[in-house]
Structure 1
């Protein structure tokens, strides 16, 4: 990997108001810019080479361990034995790195995955300057940043730019199949309305601070444990749950967040991390000063990384929960649970011991008789037309959906697939009409849930 470190004065301030001609026409080369990569998701966007994307990538960031960790991952992809990449990272580390990016205009797509306290402002200012933006979740972590994000979307529309977040969970095969079966009325029926006590949609994700990425133990920055910089659990990984609830339950339907979403309740609670656990994750000997206010008993850090929201979308009661713990049980990893209640069947994803910690989709009919089985087998052909090799295995409560290994490409591979989808929107100008209003609705849901949880405590 070629690494060029340069420093220099910023161009005159008047240049900052100029609009970058960053709109991408079909056939144009995509030129990536990576901005302040503080999260490993920035590197995963480049885990494979991307068709039509220049191998030369401009990186603007402050010097330090976050940047070095990013460059090390890219270097690892370039040097691996199989499917090696050939990215050429050109790095600028001046303290004026953001203004330098705006002034130099050396790319047309800015990739952002890092400190979430800064991210929304980065998004808005990049859009204002004429860059397209592919942002990691979350793009807003509280009400103030939500208002800023709305403004960014409005400016992106005016400038004909594409602002998009990285929703990898849409590419996980069991999530796809759960959505597909839910759209077959003869199999699923209609989505129930549910109640506050018994929601029609229930989802829960469990994540872990200590984990492996690209084959190595992930070292996280200390700010990751400050919810003012990273965001709380529901406002961070919970974005995926809100996105899936919208995407699976109301496919292609545009959401008006002001009228279509009604909140029931929300709450938040902390995860506790010991000083030795913190060191294992960050490689730091102690808690930095900005975290001391969250330390109890001198050695335990409380991180408000857990949250749940109970709300109505189009009158359907939903309960979504995000949790974080230190490390996963042996043999397991981050997990996802999802239950959709239909008038003819429930569709549920489990990822527990029985599934060997791999996600599995089950169809649980309310009336499990021969007539339903005959109809299910007939409608299975609709699924198989899109996903060849998918089969059903009968069990005590219904059927398990058997998925061929070729569809199980893993979480890290999904970043490339999201990026390819995004690049297609850039080249063809065909982003669905519902995507932007539904992104706005998504962040309204997560940020309003936080305000409600804090108020109700």
Structure 2
């Protein structure tokens, strides 16, 4: 089914877009997609281009205000072009100016090609850029989050309707689906002999418990990451409860309700939400941004020289009758030997499948399966051996290691890839959808549900200002 069909109801009530001019998005003579990078303020914009991409023109048009964010983006692209192993060959054609959006619309609308606008930057402006781009007939591949509050969610909902009307494709970059542990967890959950069915869950033991710990100071592409100063303004970046939680909600629905529509109007009930701040010293702020003083717009978050960033949040909700609990935490820097940390515990009637990454695991992700105690261990092990044998076709080298009442599903190093690698997987999936002219019917409604949940949770948690 064409993804646009789901949005018919939205189209009937949507306001007229700001621009009704539509671009012919058929392929150009070389059959290539052309990337347009708009206002790159986050390093994720560059990661889209970390690898060469078949069917994508090597010339990329960049439209942005002049400044250090643009310079940092171009330096990252240059580093990919200049590396010794598998260098890329991107040709960046750059427009610098405060009228960058108008210039992009003026210069690129007349091209008869698969123009894809890549967005990764200031989240306060992102939803406006999305709406204007799809209204003008551009496809859009956007970093998360595409909406950071209720007003921008309503604008995003309208953008999906306009995209369907203009026959262009709007998609967000959900890299965590390509994490090998998540892939295998999802596959095992679809084995009724091992997992059974997702339990309803209780407040003490939810059907799904997911958490994620991140860090402001980190190394990206081999160098310390310098964050733009607006990153610490929740009115521009968005609170943690609407940012990383997009990945968590996406994974939960992708795993628990595979290829099913999760409709926020029928299937979702938000139960509770809260948020809290991470305190950063001025020294930590300087390490992260390179600035020695707080800018005026951060003054309202500063107390006794400490910057308080509302980067943490949690909420509980019901999805199709299942109780789900999730949380996100931001610290300044990871413990030695650690990076970002993810935990995912999903309970079935026959087994619980977990991804753990704590100190016990040496801060390395590990995947476990634990049988329900009512099931015979020998019988369960036989079924598990068969499941692992089946997995080895797609995941060669996967093995079992018994640990008391549970088994670790050992994933060989060759199958493991980091966060940066996953960006190429996302864009290749998106390019496949673009070439087909549609995407699975559940993708768009589930994107809307994801952003409804995060922005509604923010409202429930209370005003952070």
TM-score (normalizing by structure 2): 0.92
**1:192 counterpart residue number:** 199
Distance verdict in 2 for CA 1:64–1:229, change over 3 Å: same
Give me the whole-angstrom Cα distance separating, in 1, the residues matched to 2:454 and 2:140: 21
1:333-412 to structure 2, matched below 5 A, reads: 333-367=339-373, 369-412=377-420
**1:260 counterpart residue number:** 267
Give me the whole-angstrom Cα distance separating, in 2, the residues matched to 1:24 and 1:263: 43
1:26-425 to structure 2, matched below 5 A, reads: 28-105=31-108, 108-297=115-304, 299-367=305-373, 369-425=377-433
Distance verdict in 2 for CA 1:456–1:312, change over 3 Å: farther
| Preserved CA contact (<8 Å) 1:25 1:428 | no
Q: After the TM superposition, which of the residue ranges 99-108 and 148-157 deviates more from structure 2?
A: 99-108
Cα deviation for residue 266 of structure 1 reads 0.4
Distance verdict in 2 for CA 1:17–1:260, change over 3 Å: closer
**1:5 counterpart residue number:** none
Give me the whole-angstrom Cα distance separating, in 1, the residues matched to 2:463 and 2:270: 13
| Preserved CA contact (<8 Å) 1:25 1:427 | no
Give me the whole-angstrom Cα distance separating, in 2, the residues matched to 1:306 and 1:170: 22
| Preserved CA contact (<8 Å) 1:345 1:364 | yes
| Preserved CA contact (<8 Å) 1:23 1:161 | no
SS of residue matched to 1:186:
coil
Distance verdict in 2 for CA 1:361–1:294, change over 3 Å: same
Q: Note the alpha carbon deviations across 1:350-394, whole angstroms, 9 max, x for none.
A: 112232211110001112611111121122233223222211111
Give me the whole-angstrom Cα distance separating, in 1, the residues matched to 2:277 and 2:261: 34
Give me the whole-angstrom Cα distance separating, in 1, the residues matched to 2:359 and 2:205: 25
Distance verdict in 2 for CA 1:399–1:24, change over 3 Å: farther
Give me the whole-angstrom Cα distance separating, in 2, the residues matched to 1:315 and 1:342: 14
Q: Between Structure 1 and Structure 2, how many residues are aligned?
A: 442
CA RMSD of aligned residues (A): 1.7
Give me the whole-angstrom Cα distance separating, in 2, the residues matched to 1:25 and 1:313: 43
Cα deviation for residue 17 of structure 1 reads 5.1
Give me the whole-angstrom Cα distance separating, in 2, the residues matched to 1:440 and 1:154: 11
Give me the whole-angstrom Cα distance separating, in 2, the residues matched to 1:444 and 1:70: 31
Give me the whole-angstrom Cα distance separating, in 2, the residues matched to 1:425 and 1:309: 32
Give me the whole-angstrom Cα distance separating, in 2, the residues matched to 1:287 and 1:395: 50
SS of residue matched to 2:212:
strand
Give me the whole-angstrom Cα distance separating, in 1, the residues matched to 2:270 and 2:145: 20
SS of residue matched to 1:138:
coil
**1:10 counterpart residue number:** none
TM-score (normalizing by structure 1): 0.94
Unaligned residue ranges in structure 1 (runs of 5+): 1-14
Q: Note the alpha carbon deviations across 1:159-194, whole angstroms, 9 max, x for none.
A: 221100000000000011111111101001110011
| Preserved CA contact (<8 Å) 2:21 2:135 | no
| Preserved CA contact (<8 Å) 1:261 1:312 | yes
Unaligned residue ranges in structure 2 (runs of 5+): 1-17
Give me the whole-angstrom Cα distance separating, in 2, the residues matched to 1:319 and 1:149: 25
Distance verdict in 2 for CA 1:275–1:342, change over 3 Å: same
Distance verdict in 2 for CA 1:190–1:76, change over 3 Å: same
Q: Note the alpha carbon deviations across 1:63-113, whole angstroms, 9 max, x for none.
A: 001100000100111111111111000000122110110111156100000
| Preserved CA contact (<8 Å) 1:44 1:412 | yes
Q: Note the alpha carbon deviations across 1:185-240, whole angstroms, 9 max, x for none.
A: 10011100112342110000000000000000000011000011001112111100
Cα deviation for residue 146 of structure 1 reads 0.3
Give me the whole-angstrom Cα distance separating, in 1, the residues matched to 2:19 and 2:152: 22
| Preserved CA contact (<8 Å) 1:16 1:102 | no
